[in-house]
Structure formats: C-alpha cells, structure tokens
Chains A and B, each alone.
Chain A
C-alpha cells in the first residue's frame, strides 16, 4: 500500500522479474473485472436490501426504523454498481483496446490464499508458534524465497518474537 489515501494499483509498477516471467502473467481487461464484480455486488447488495426490507417497522410511525437507513444505503450502492456496470458495458462495445489488469504469478497468489485460509482456520488447534512459523515459511515460499537458511531462520525468529512480545510482554493469551 503505497498511498495514504487509497491503495489501488491495477498494474504493478516493478519491472517484470525472472520469477514473474517463469510463472507467467495473466492480463485481464479491467472492464471485464468490473462487470464481474458488478454482478457479484448486485447480488450481495440486493440480498442486503431484501434483508433490510424484512426488518420490523418502528413503533413510532414517524421515526426511522432499523431497516430504513440500510435500505437507503443499498439503493444508493445499487445505483452506483449499476452505473459502473453500464459504463463497463458501453466501454466493451465502444472501445477496441481496453485497459488491462495484470495478475502476476496467479498460481502463487492462489497458493498464498490457501495457506492463509488453511493456517488461519486451524490457528487454535495448531497453536500460535507452529501456526506462525508454518504460515511464514509457506508464504515465503509462495513469494519466491528459496534460500534454506532464510526459510528456517525468519519463520522461527518471527514466531518466537511474536510469542515473546504478545504472550510474555503484553500478557495476551494464545492457544
């Protein structure tokens, strides 16, 4: 995150390195991603609106009920999502060249997500030290680290360091 306001970055700025070349780079038109996200958001926000409409009315008929403010948010967001999707559709038909979003090292990203979700989900059964060390080692592999010393020293140091700070110094209980 390079910015103090927003942190969007459709195309990574670094030059394409050897690791990225090895694993390849997927290029997807931004408008297609916008449309896909638009459809997902329409479904999610639509369900949110449906749930908001089911919330009970207030006792005082002139007051704003529990569901009224969420309904306003949902309608506003749906309008914005609809406009973004329409804008995307217009771009698809009117422009020949589309802005591309680079998805570099997609396999590694999927592996990293699986590692995060896998270890995160079993954090309580694995325990803090094993979970942190395992997560760090696997993530470092996913980022491209192949030096054995680094792969052993950093996860161990990190797990012990976090344990010392959180548990011994700050008194936080960990599984």
Chain B
C-alpha cells in the first residue's frame, strides 16, 4: 500500500501533472466563485479539454478543479453574501457578518485554511478506507454489485432535492437512457432507430447538455447581472496560528462528518456543511455567536464541505459507484481514457487512485496559497457579466461536444439534453439521479442478468447471500422512507387543519 502511494507521488515528476493541478485549482476557484456555476458544471466543462491529455494529467486537473470549486464557493459567500455553491450557504451565515464588521480577511483566511484541513484530513480517511474497501469488494459477485448499484441509485433519488417521486422518475429516465444501444449480452440493437445510437447515448454530451446548457437557459432567464458591491478586505494574513489551535476539535470533527456524509451516495457537500454547522453550534461554548460572525461556524462548514469531496471519491474509486453528480461526471472522464473505476482499479492501474490521493494532499498547500494570495481577484470573478459567462459556457458545450467524437451527433445530443434539462429543472425533477442512473444502468442490468443466468432464473439468489440481502434492504428502506415521511407529514398537516377547525368552532 505504501509503495503504491510513492507511485502516486512520483506521478508529479512529470511536469504536466503539477501544471494540471495548478490549472485545475485556478479554474476551480474561478468557477466556485461565480454564483450559479459549481463543481459539477466545472468538471463537465473541463472534460472536453482533457480528451487528448494523458489520463493522469486529466484526472489530476479534474480533481483539483473539483476541490478548488468547493474552496472558491466560500469567497463570494463571505464577500458579497452570494454563495458560489450550495455547500457554501452555511459559510455565508457567519462569513458575511464578519465582512460587515470589517473582518473579511479573517473570514477568508479561516475558510481557506479550514477547507485545506478538511481536504487533508479526509484524504487520510479516504486512503485508509478506500483501499480495504476495494479489497473487500473484489469478492463481490453479480448479486452484490446489482444490490450496490441499486443502493446508490435509491439513495441519490431519495436524497435529491424535492419530491422522492420526482427523484424516482429521474432515475427511471436515466435507466431508460442507459438501455439505448446494442445489448451487451445479445448484441441486439435496442431503441436505436439510427446506427449512431448503437453505442448508446454518449455520456459527455449528455452531461454538457443537462448540466451546462440548461444553466445557460437559466442565465438567459435571469438577464444581465447587477454589479455587487464588494466589501474591503483586510487582515487576510493576520490570523494567528493559535486560532486554529483553538479550532482543532471543530476542524477534526467536521472533517470526519464531511467525509462520512460524502461517502453516502446523494448526500454530498451541502448536507455535510449543514450537519457539521449544526453539530458545531450545539457543541460550542458560544452558540449565540453563530449567525453573527462565528469563526467556529465558518471552520465547521468549510472543513466539512471540502471533506465531502474526498468522501464522494471513496465509493467511486473502491466500488465504481459515484457518490455525487460530480463524481458521476468524473466517471465519464475516466471512461474516455479507458479507465473503469472499481475494485480492480487498485490492482490493474494503481497509479490512478494513488495519484488521486497524492494530488489531494499536494493540492492543499497549493490551494491555500492560491486562495490567500488571490482572494482579492477571486472576489472580482463574481462580477464577470452574466451574458459573457453564458456565452463561454455555451461555446465550450458545443465545441466540446463536437470534439468528443469529431462528429455532429454529440452536438445534437447536447442541444437536445440542454432543452430537456431546462424543462425538467422547471418542473423540479432533479438531474443528479438521471446522470447516476445513466452511469450505473449498465452495471445494474448486466449484473442482474448475470445473476439470473447463474441461478438458472431463480430469484432466491438475491436473498441467500447476507451481503446482498443487507444491501437490498437498505435500497428498499431508502425508497420507502421518503414515502412514509411524506405520508406522515400529510397526516400531521391534516390533523393540524382539523385542530384549527375545531378551535374555530
């Protein structure tokens, strides 16, 4: 294991790898700082630029962008009370009050260094858990893989924003899209009126359409942006080291919370930051300061949302199951380079996961430096006019789609999914389950069919193995829980209305 980590660090001997890390970090900060853009969109937009790069350079660049976008989300949250990412909402609760008190520099310093500590600590957890998990997963059979994919899908569909029913519909759409093309087992073309569809829907154009082009249409709706007045920044380098000594328990606890929540498919960085913030407030000696400029609040939120980045990478690397939309997009990037994430990755191509670990560790000082030195400039990024951002995003989408196969078919796919994504978002249908189902669909179907061939068509194969049974129970529970919660809320509402009615009588 430790020899492999040396392989990971040795990848940085190729000068293009550290260059990729720096470029990814710079782009990530920029994308994170612009409200409305985020890590998923950033990673999707960067993929077309990585087609012809070495796989290691591509992966390091994408990982650096993913992590830096979470760092960058805090900058506009602190300076202009406009979180760049959903995960930075809790940061704005204390960051912006500090800015109003003339302590913007302090808030930025705490947020950037806490983010770094969150990433560093959680990558240690990733290293310690992903490797044994991948070794354990080597013994998984088709039933366990089927159940695992189902757990991932059920959690993402039910933990997504809004109604679980809509999450289920999104999952159905994604699974249906995954079945288009030649059947992997029989070679029969399915739902493919044209030979272009024989290889199924190309993942990157679908991602660009759903995540990026639909956002362009939302930018058109929003109209030109109004310039926000940024507060003056001072004291960014004046935070004493002992401040972090006082915060060490908050930082450690938040990193663990962020990592654990990040591992759960569908939970993600925003839930991690909310939970960590709530726990920090509860355990603080000065809970009354939360919401008024508490540095504990900023540290808890930022270390947790960045730790969730490493958390989301654990199921991706060890099991081949994406834990978040961004990691689902990352799967697309890996597949373009012929890399299949999962337990075999650690034995067949150990340089990939170990370089990711090394990149996450090396990225910490790089990102802290870039963040602290360039905070003033990242704040200006959020002032870039919305029409220009829309033009850049749309241009990259179309050119990137064309470059993916050097043909017009992916361009048509991107355009179609851009409009579909816009309509679905208007009706509150979440996009994350569509992408995850599209990525996991083949794994789900192949293992389901393989298991039934092994069992000669008997379904008892799915409940004779304890591991499969446990995983399937989790899937059933995660599908059923939101429905039960919804029914309970409806009953409570009805009871409440009846009580009011009786009181009025």
Q: Which residue numbers of A lie inside 8 Å of B, CB to CB?
A: 1-10, 12, 14, 17, 19-20, 30, 33-34, 37, 41, 45, 48, 51-52, 55-56, 58, 60-67, 69-70, 73-74, 76-77, 80-81, 83-84, 87, 101, 103-105, 108-109, 112-113, 116-117, 119-121, 123-124, 128, 131-132, 135-137, 139-145, 150, 154-155, 158-159, 162, 165-166, 170-175
Contacts and interface: CB of A to CB of B under 8 A. Distances in A.
A76 B399 contact: no
A1 B215 contact: yes
B326 A4 contact: yes
Given A10-B428, A45-B172, A128-B399, A3 B387 contact: no
B270 to A, nearest CB: 6
A99 B214 CA distance: 22
B85 A5 contact: no
Contact of A66 (B175, B183, B422): B183
Contacts of B188: 55-56, 66
Interface in B290-318: none
B457 A63 contact: yes
24 contacts: A1-B36, A1-B214, A2-B86, A7-B431, A8-B428, A9-B425, A37-B423, A37-B427, A41-B169, A63-B452, A64-B449, A76-B172, A84-B166, A105-B223, A123-B402, A132-B398, A139-B387, A143-B219, A143-B220, A154-B392, A158-B395, A166-B399, A170-B51, A171-B52
A80 B51 CA distance: 38
Given A84-B165, A103-B221, A62 B388 contact: no
Nearest to A60: B453
A159 B387 contact: no
B29 to A, nearest CB: 16
B430 A8 contact: yes
A162 to B, nearest CB: 5
B345 interface: no
Interface string B160-194: 11110110110011011001000101101011000
A65 B188 CA distance: 10
Interface in B30-70: 35-41, 48-49, 51-53
A133 to B, nearest CB: 9
A4 B219 contact: no
For the complex of A and B, 8 pairs with smallest distance between CB atoms? A77-B172, A62-B457, A6-B430, A145-B387, A136-B391, A19-B223, A143-B387, A144-B224
B224 A69 contact: no
B406 interface: yes
Contacts of A62: 452-453, 456-457
Nearest to B159: A5
Given A2-B86, A123-B411, A140 B398 contact: no
Contacts of B360: none
Contacts of B156: 5
Nearest to B452: A64
Given A1-B211, A30-B427, 5 more contacts: A4-B268, A7-B430, A37-B424, A80-B168, A109-B217
Contacts, number: 284
B399 A162 contact: yes
Contacts of A109: 217, 220-221, 422
Contacts of B37: 1
B325 interface: yes
A84 to B, nearest CB: 5
Contacts of A80: 165, 168-169, 172
A38 B423 CA distance: 12
Nearest to B434: A6
B324 interface: yes
Contacts of A135: 391, 394-395, 398
Interface string B78-120: 0000010111000000000000000000000000000000000
B388 A154 contact: yes
Interface stretch (B247-255, B278-286, B412-420): B412-420
B477 interface: no
Interface string B237-269: 000000000000000000000000000001111
B391 A73 contact: no
B427 A34 contact: yes
Contacts of A65: 186
A3 B395 contact: no
B191 A172 contact: no
B270 A158 contact: no
A132 B398 CA distance: 8
B391 A33 contact: no
Contact of A5 (B176, B219, B403, B432): B432
Contact of A150 (B221, B271, B385, B422): B385
Nearest to B182: A66
B333 interface: no
Contact of A45 (B176, B432, B448, B456): B176
A120 B414 contact: yes
A7 B44 CA distance: 14
Given A4-B39, A62-B452, A123-B402, A142 B220 contact: yes
A20 B221 CA distance: 8
